[in-house]
Structure 1
Amino acid sequence: MDNQIKNIARTGYAAKGVVYALTGILAFGAAIGMGNSSEGKLGVLKFLEEQPFGKVLLGLLGLGLFCYAFWRIFQSIKDPENIGNDKKGLGKRIGFFFSGLVYMGLGIFAIYEIFKQINSGGSSKTAMIPTEFLPYIFYAIAIGMAIKALFQFAKIYKGDFLSKFHLNSMTNINLMKTIKWLGYAGWISRGIVEGVVAYFFFRAADTASQGDIKGTAEAFSFIRQNSEGPWLVGSVALGLICYGVYMFIKAKYRRFDD
């Protein structure tokens, strides 16, 4: 595989790590009563925008997310690591494609946030999607998110997410244990959040209103409503921080099967 493609993939993994680490940090801050409730991936973009040189940070993150989207779509079409065309391989490649689309959308939103004030002459909003199509779109997203959450837990059970590190060949035992610990904590937390988000999209499909779209931020709010909410949110948030750090490690140590 071309080294340039590998570098794009590593940049993408690092950008994804930033998104998840900041999502976890913001959610954990909200759980312990610090900061506002800017949880979720879009909350991360809003948070970055409010920082010094926020536009620059958003631009860099947006480019990184485009790198990740390109890598996932490249994986789905070109199959550089020979995943294959059998049922399992095609399932993975289709998943990569839709993952790429999601992160491309997030990257576009990051870039949009940079330039939106230039074109915003007022505060009016228009629906981007015709209302009559919303139930079908929401149901499709909900089913996709639910399947993704199930696959997440299947990966956790099998430990598949560790295969690209070739842990058996690692000589640094502490690094190997760190990758495993961060990976398991992060994937479990991510699976929980995506399952809750799938529920929100199922519910939004019934009302067919764009105002009912829920994401990661609302997933944390939903978890917080439990009697043990703050502890639960804090635990999931720490798990997402672990997943973010795991993605940084993946950016450095992930091996590519040429």
Structure 2
Amino acid sequence: MNTSALARNGRAEAERAARGSLTRGAARAGLAARGVIYLLVGVIALQIAFGESGQEADRRGALAEIAEKPFGAVLLWALGVGLVGMALWRLSEGVFGGAGEDGRSARKRLTALARCAFYSFVAYSVLEFAAGSGDGGGSSDEQSRDVTARVLDLPGGQWIVGAAGVGIVVVGLWIGARAVMRSYRKRLRLGEMSPGMRRLVDVTGVGGGAARGLVFAAAGAFAVRAAVDYRPDKAKGLDDTLRSFAGTPAGPALLACVAAGLVLFGLFSFCMARWRKV
């Protein structure tokens, strides 16, 4: 057998391993971990809407909430391991391609690698928090202001921040539109679900995806405003973005609706963990 044949066989074996039960388990653990974070952020935001919480409605706040519970340290480690699984799954998609007709396209692979990098950072921050040597990645609001301030100081910084903000707005609108159109259905094993389960998935998928997209779009709009005004303090992380909904004419009721949507997205992530094609 020549060298090229050995290389092809080696790649085929690696691809089979990447699509095997271990990778499927990592994907499902990662989706479940994502669900826990969104669920807790949504619950904290609901408490803020009703004036019952001083906790931050972001990842750090969610981790702090877990840490206060019985067996909190064990739960934090499990969450971190689940997020490591998410990063590894996205890495396998980037290298070998994902499920679906366009799973091997360059766009899908690059998106998967970007998600791998993001979830690697999130997993590291959660594991660091679980070990007692980190703050869960820090406050999302402080991070947004710090990054915006550094970029604004660069040549053409206003244009960079403004373009990034517009990009985030577009991503948010895209997320919301895909949720409303139920595009997630093509990634699910619908034939294995009961009619009631399909209805539950649609409620959580549409409501949760729309709320998530709205939060992204709002955060992007604040970034654009920071660029236009040359004011890094106008940039907002997840916590401040959510709190800003309470400052609209609709008041805390709008924040409560968005928060409920994030809870739905957490539940939708659990459904994805069970039924998603990997």
TM-score by length of 1: 0.81
Query: Which moves more between the two structures, 223-232 or 139-148?
Result: 139-148
Question: Taking structure 1 as reference, are residues 179 and 116 closer, same or farther at Cα in structure 2, changes over 3 Å only?
Answer: closer
Alpha-carbon RMSD? 2.7
Letter in 1 for 2:174: F
Instruction: Report what 1:197 is aligned to.
Output: 219
Any conservation in 2 of the 1:170–1:176 contact (CA below 8 Å)?
A: no
- 1:100 matches 2:78: no
TM-score by length of 2: 0.76
Instruction: Report what 1:123 is aligned to.
Output: none
Matches within 5 A, 1:1-258: 1-81=19-99, 83-84=101-102, 89-113=105-129, 114-116=132-134, 132-133=153-154, 138-139=161-162, 141-167=164-190, 169-170=191-192, 172-205=194-227, 207=230, 209=232, 213-256=235-278
Structure 1 stretches of 4+ moved >6 Å = none
Encode CA deviations 1:47-68: one digit per residue, 9 max, x unaligned: 2234444443332222212221
Partners of 1:150 and 1:12 in 2: CA distance:
24
Letter in 1 for 2:170: I
Question: Taking structure 1 as reference, are residues 68 and 43 closer, same or farther at Cα in structure 2, changes over 3 Å only?
Answer: same
Query: What is the SS of the residue equivalent to 2:133?
Result: helix
Unaligned ranges ≥5, structure 1: 118-126
Any conservation in 1 of the 2:93–2:109 contact (CA below 8 Å)?
A: yes
Query: What is the SS of the residue equivalent to 1:115?
Result: coil
Question: Taking structure 1 as reference, are residues 185 and 130 closer, same or farther at Cα in structure 2, changes over 3 Å only?
Answer: closer
Encode CA deviations 1:26-81: one digit per residue, 9 max, x unaligned: 10111112222421223212322344444433322222122212222321232042
Unaligned ranges ≥5, structure 2: 1-18, 136-145
Partners of 2:124 and 2:225 in 1: CA distance:
26
Partners of 1:62 and 1:96 in 2: CA distance:
19
Question: Higher relative contact order by CA 8 Å / sep ≥ 6: 1 or 2?
Answer: 1
Shift of 1:139: 4.7
Any conservation in 2 of the 1:11–1:64 contact (CA below 8 Å)?
A: yes
Question: Taking structure 1 as reference, are residues 100 and 145 closer, same or farther at Cα in structure 2, changes over 3 Å only?
Answer: farther
Shift of 1:94: 2.7
Partners of 1:29 and 1:35 in 2: CA distance:
5
Question: Taking structure 1 as reference, are residues 148 and 42 closer, same or farther at Cα in structure 2, changes over 3 Å only?
Answer: farther
Question: Taking structure 1 as reference, are residues 144 and 94 closer, same or farther at Cα in structure 2, changes over 3 Å only?
Answer: farther
Partners of 2:158 and 2:111 in 1: CA distance:
22
Partners of 1:232 and 1:179 in 2: CA distance:
23
Letter in 2 for 1:65: L
Q: How high is the sequence identity, in percent, across the aligned residues? A: 25
Partners of 1:166 and 1:201 in 2: CA distance:
38
Question: Taking structure 1 as reference, are residues 47 and 13 closer, same or farther at Cα in structure 2, changes over 3 Å only?
Answer: same
Shift of 1:197: 1.4
Query: What is the SS of the residue equivalent to 1:226?
Result: coil
Query: What is the SS of the residue equivalent to 1:116?
Result: coil
Instruction: Report what 2:140 is aligned to.
Output: none
Partners of 2:128 and 2:234 in 1: CA distance:
22
Partners of 2:226 and 2:118 in 1: CA distance:
19
Any conservation in 1 of the 2:93–2:112 contact (CA below 8 Å)?
A: yes
The total of aligned residue pairs comes to 243
Any conservation in 2 of the 1:38–1:47 contact (CA below 8 Å)?
A: no
Partners of 2:163 and 2:95 in 1: CA distance:
22
